[in-house]
A and B are shown apart, each in its own frame.
Chain A
Amino acid sequence: MRKAMVLFACLFAGTVWASEPHGGSAAAGEHGKPHDETDAEGEDVAGYILHHVSDSNEYEFEIPLSHEHVAFHLPKILIPFHEGACTPVVDPHGGHGEVYPGLGAGCLDLSITKHTVMMWLAALLLIGSLLLWSNRDKTKLVPRGAGANLFEMLVLFVRDELAIKNIGKEEGPRYVPYLLTAFFFILFMNLLGLFPWMATATGNIAVTCGLAVCTFIVTQVAGIRAAGLGGYLKHLTGGVAPWLWPIMIPVEFLGLFTKPFALTIRLFANMLAGHIVIFFLLGLIFMLRSPAVALVSVPFAFGIYLLELFVAFVQAYVFTMLSALFIGMSVAMGHHDDHGHGHKEGGESHDHGKAHHA
């Protein structure tokens, strides 16, 4: 559905762009405006969208119903690995101004950005909501209030429907704290992006990559716990003759990264796409230069906004579900290789860790 929306928006924009010369000449004839101005405005919409969804070193507040902006410059933290490594250079990509060299040139950029602030805010909301709504009064079994009940519902959902159903009854509860953290952190980051003056940190590939790395580490630790270090390393050889290991070990090693790669790209692309579609629909008003377009594009954008609200939950759910699934597969593979007792594939749960640990 979302892909269809993106496709629709792209096709619509493509049609507008393709018809620009005729409309443009008419406009030039009627209003005396040259082609270039229309093209520049079209590019401005794209530039505005990219500026809004990308990360930056300043936090910008737009004052409603005016063209004024209030910008806060966030601190720049640069750690040079050698003398002069962080000296700014002229943008090699032809952009305006200067840029700082990357890690390859020996400059570690730990600057606080808009998305970093959003992550901190999400973390604060997560900790705050847990402190506020956790059942602190141990004499009462049932927590009181809508917030506490909503949280309990979500926590139980992650535990029962995601952790236990994907990892298993015995091993699942061990990974519930990680899955809950991932779920609520992503959920808060996704929801923050829907508020005015806020940004979606999950629309940044570095953030989603960091989250996927966390899942990757947990998955590997789960595999090592289930199969033992020997079994885990043996699995990396692919079960072929030792003289083929120089080829097979890199293959198996690269294979480990396919799952976190999928997690990274999926969350990043989904969160970015929704925001781009909303801005693009609103941008059509300026691209087509007619306020009448707002009659169509604003309700459409509102619809997509509501869809984004749903998507914020869905994406948090999918990331957590896939993390649990990968952890479960890792645990099952470890147990399988360990015992070789011929479970039917896809049949019984391989999760009998408790018996073995005991």
Chain B
Amino acid sequence: MTDQEPRERADAPGSELGETARQMRAAEPYISAVWKLVGGAVVGVLGGYFLDKWLKTSPWLLLGLSLLGIGVGFYSFLHAMARLGKRK
């Protein structure tokens, strides 16, 4: 096995990342930022809905947490974009 290794190393063509991997890594921060934007609203609305159901405070927690979730989503989205801009 040991005498096989140099041959395999020399043959290995994967010294560079593939095109798909490069593109996905480039896109990942943007996908993550979009998820933060959408996810904030989703978590706020769902959290508010179920808390309202549990605490019987409908519709106040739904309204409050939805607004908070949307706000946090926007904030984190802009924060991520600003950080990406700085990195560039």
Instruction: Give the B-binding residues of A (Cβ under 8 A).
Output: 138, 141, 159-161, 163-169, 172, 238-240, 244, 247-248, 250-252, 254-255, 258, 321, 325, 328-329, 332-333, 342, 345-347, 349-351
Contacts and interface: CB of A to CB of B under 8 A. Distances in A.
B35 A250 contact: no
B30 to A, nearest CB: 9
Given A160-B12, A160-B14, A247-B72, 18 more contacts: A141-B4, A159-B14, A164-B12, A165-B17, A165-B18, A166-B17, A239-B83, A240-B75, A244-B72, A244-B76, A247-B44, A248-B72, A251-B39, A254-B39, A345-B84, A345-B88, A346-B27, A347-B22
A219 to B, nearest CB: 13
B83 A328 contact: no
Contacts of B44: 247
5 contacts: A138-B1, A239-B80, A247-B69, A254-B39, A254-B43
A250 B72 CA distance: 12
B68 interface: yes
B26 interface: yes
B12 A250 contact: no
B14 A345 contact: no
Contacts of B88: 345
Contacts of A350: 25
A329 B17 contact: no
Nearest to B19: A165
A247 B68 contact: yes
A238 B76 contact: yes
Interface centre among B16, B72, B83 (most CB of A within 10 A): B72
B83 A349 contact: no
A351 B15 CA distance: 11
A27 B63 CA distance: 60
A333 B32 CA distance: 11
Interface centre among A251, A255, A345 (most CB of B within 10 A): A251
Contacts of B79: 239-240
Contacts of A169: 12, 14-15
Contacts of B47: 247, 250
Contact of A345 (B26, B39, B72, B76): B26
Contacts of A248: 36, 40, 72, 76
